[in-house]
Each structure stands twice: as C-alpha cells, then as structure tokens.
Amino acid sequence: MVHNYYQIPGGEDTVVANEKRMLEEHGHVVILYSRHNSEIKQMSKLQKLGLPFTTIFNPRTYREIKNLIKQNQIDIVHVHNTLNLVSPAVYYAALKCGVPVVQTVHNFRLLCPGATFYRDGHICEDCVEHGLWCAVKHKCYRGSRMQTLACVISTAIHRMTGVYGKINYICLTEFNKEKLLKLKQMPPDRVFIKPNFTFESTENLQGGERADYYLFVGRIEEIKGIQLLLSAFSKMPKMQLLVAGDGPLLDEKREWVKARGLDNVLLLGYIDHQEIAKLISECKAVIVPSQIYETFGMVIIESYAAHKPVITGDIGNIGSLVEEGITGLKYKYDDEISLMNAVMRSEQMDMDCFGEKAYKKYLQEFSPFANYHQLMEIYRRIV
C-alpha cells in the first residue's frame, strides 16, 4: 500500500488506515510505503530546487518500491496518493517487477491539476475541454504558476508514456468513473467502482446523548463552503453550530465570528478522530456545505455509521450520497437561503428516524464487511 501524506491530515489518510486495518484483520500481510509532505520543510535549498523534477519521477521511490516488492513477494501494489514525494515512479517500479497496480482515485488530479474542478469561486472543467495548459494560465495548483506547471508537465509526460493505461483504478462512485473515462487512454475494463467505508467507533456503539447543535467537520477553506455555512448561521442565532477542523482560513473565520458577536457559532480548530466521533454521535445532524464535486464524502458515511443524518448541498458525489427525506436533507449547494431552509426544515422533522435509515444504508453499502468483498473481487480480477 502506497500513500503520500499531505501536510494537513485529510480523508485520504483515514481511508488508508481503514483499508490497511481491514485487510490485516482478514489475514493479509500489508506493507505500507509512505512519505509525508512535511519532509519538504526540512529539505535543503538544493533539494527544494529539485522538487519539480522528483515530483515527476522520484528515483528514490523507484528503488525502494522495487526492493520492497522483491524482498516481500508482493502480489499487488495499491496506490492512494503520490504527490509530491512518492511521484508516479511507483507505477513504473511495480510494472517493471511484473506486479499489478491499482490506484484509488481520491481526487480529480489526473484530469485537473488543481484536483477539484474548481477555481475562482465556481466549478471549472476547462482542462478537460481545452487542455491542461488552462491550469497554468489560472495558477490552479496552490495559486502558483510554477507549481501548476510542474503538475501539468508531470501529468503530460506520464500520459505520453502510456503508463496511465497500464494500471487499474478504483473510483469511489459512478460519477467519478464517468469523469475519469474522459481520458482517451483510460481502458474501461481497468476502471472499477468501490466506495470508501468506515469502522463503527466505540462512541457510535455506545450511543451518544443527543445535544442541541449542528456539526461541520472538514478543512477550513473556501472550497468547503465554510463562509456560506457561517453566513447562514449568523442569521439563525437560535441554532448552534460547531465547526471542527483546521485550515488556511481558520484564524480569519474566527475573527469573522468574533466581530459579529456570534454566540451560536464555535470554531474548535483541529480535533482528533476520537473526539470527532464523539461530536458526531451527539449532534443533531452533520452539515456538508462543500462547493465542489468532492470525490466522495467520508464525513457522510461516518455520520451514517453514528446513526446521524446529513444536510448537504446537492452537488456531485456528496449530493448523491444523501437521499432526500430518507438519510438527510439537500439544498441548492451555493444558496445561503436554501441552506437555512434545510436547517429549519430539519427542526420540524424526525431526524432520529432519518438517522436510523442512514445507519441501515451504512451497513448495506459502507461497512467493512460489504467493502472487503468488493475489494477482494477487484484484486482477483486485476491479478
């Protein structure tokens, strides 16, 4: 299993930990090869100058993956994230050793250097329609033209080598598969669908006492819809909102809340996973106000596992995961009034009943038991 951790923890990290644990509990030997982007801070100036090149192909990864395969008789290389330090060199190393590769598609980076199909406050698919160089023009990766250029060159090179057509893919939804197949070199018979899953936490099993608050869990940044959410609750002073997560806009949003004297909104900052599970188990509902398609929505299935309904914008994958009036409520994703109406509607509905239906959906589609059999079928087919 191969994973490159970002500097700020995210849903991909949870997926990696969950799948490793699930496979090991079923008797498989799993070796995790990982790098962490926090390593970049400790690099020398010369090493940082070389980053654009090692992002494209890291010789260290190539050597180490080949050695791991040979020393441990690896059957499958399952890749989750390669940016920045692992690089696509992992694909070439595995294929050189004759070992099949499967890449879980956690974002849209193969099609969009920014990975989100979002820029300047709106959904954007220019790179699919007009080519990857659109991203350089708009500085789509981290607001940097040079860093975006490095991503574009990397993707273009590996498209030209044909390596993307030689590996297998796990898409988390049908929506994601349709997007991925827009790449001409992508063989449909190598693209599979398997959603993420989550374990039930001890907090969920014990059952939390319901408290009088709504909950947001995620990165505090523009694309996650944090401003839309805060603005909506600023107009609903009787509704309590807890915001759990870190991100580039955390301090700015705390100042925004403080300046308006919003006693009903509390930004908690970074919270560990166990505490988040407790917050989910006790909330009225989890709100997911994301402004992008998302490639999945881990917090949604974590809420379902805790018998909690979800209020979400009707966009992309997060919209498809929530069944209106069954496992939660949906609203027009970029409309503050529509979000407020959804919250007010939830006050008049039996959200506990929605929560039980959400839990039933979790058991059927997003539990470890259901997921293990899906993953094994994919492994069998690619081997």
Using omega within 30 degrees of 0 as the cis cutoff, is the peptide bond preceding 84 cis?
yes
Whether the Cβ atoms of residue 33 and residue 1 lie closer than 8 Å to each other: yes
Q: Which residues, 6+ apart, have CB-to-CB distance to 324 below 8 Å? A: 330
Task: Give pLDDT, residue 209.
Answer: 64
The contacts of residue 101 (CB under 8 Å, 6+ apart) are 76, 77, 78, 79, 90, 91, 94, 95, 166, 167, 168
> Which one, of 37, 28, 38, 40, lies nearest residue 1 by Cα?
28
The answer to whether 99 touches 67, Cβ cutoff 8 Å, is no
- The answer on 241 and 377 residing in a single domain is no
State whether 232 and 361 are in the same domain: yes
Same domain, 93 and 227: no
60 and 183 within one domain: yes
Q: Which residues touch 347 (CB under 8 Å, ≥6 apart)?
A: none
- 3-class secondary structure, 245: coil
Residues 252 and 375 in one domain: no
Give per-residue pLDDT as tens, 3-47: 999 887 778 998 999 999 999 999 999 999 999 998 989 999 898
Helices (H), the chain: 11-25, 45-49, 51-56, 59-72, 89-96, 126-130, 133-138, 145-161, 174-180, 202-206, 226-234, 250-259, 273-282, 298-305, 316-321, 336-347, 351-361, 368-382
Domain count, the chain: 2
Same domain? For 156 and 227 the reply is no
Query: Do 191 and 208 belong together in one domain?
Result: no
Give the strand order in the sheet containing 328-331. 265-269, 241-244, 214-217, 285-288, 310-313, 328-331
Q: pLDDT tens across 290-311, in order? A: 999 999 999 999 999 999 999 9
The candidate with the shortest Cα–Cα distance to 267, out of 255, 259, 275, is 255
The letter for the amino acid at 267 is L
Q: For position 223, which CATH number holds? A: 3.40.50.2000
Structural domain boundaries enclosing 49: 2-197+368-382
Same domain, 206 and 189: no
248/287 Cα distance (integer angstroms) = 20
* 237 and 173 in a common domain: no
Largest CA distance in the chain: 62
- Going by the DSSP 8-state scheme, the letter that residue 159 receives in this structure is H
CATH code at 55? 3.40.50
Indicate the DSSP class of residue 41: G
From first to last of the 383 residues of the chain, give the pLDDT tens digit.
Answer: 999 998 877 789 989 999 999 999 999 999 999 999 989 899 998 988 888 899 899 999 999 999 999 999 999 999 999 988 999 999 999 999 999 999 999 999 999 999 999 999 899 999 999 999 999 999 998 899 988 998 899 999 999 999 999 999 999 999 999 999 998 888 999 999 999 999 997 655 544 567 899 999 999 999 999 999 999 999 999 999 999 999 999 999 999 999 999 999 999 999 998 899 999 999 999 999 999 999 999 999 999 999 999 999 999 999 999 999 999 999 999 999 999 999 999 999 999 999 999 999 999 999 999 999 999 999 999 99
Identify whether residues 184 and 276 lie together within a single domain: no
User: 269 in helix, strand or coil?
Assistant: strand
Q: Are residues 104 and 218 in the same domain?
A: no
Nearest to 319 by CA among 305, 306, 337, 338: 338
Whether 163 and 215 map to the same domain: the answer is: no
175, 293 contact by CB (below 8 A): yes
For residue 332, the one-letter residue type is K
Single-letter amino acid, residue 35: R
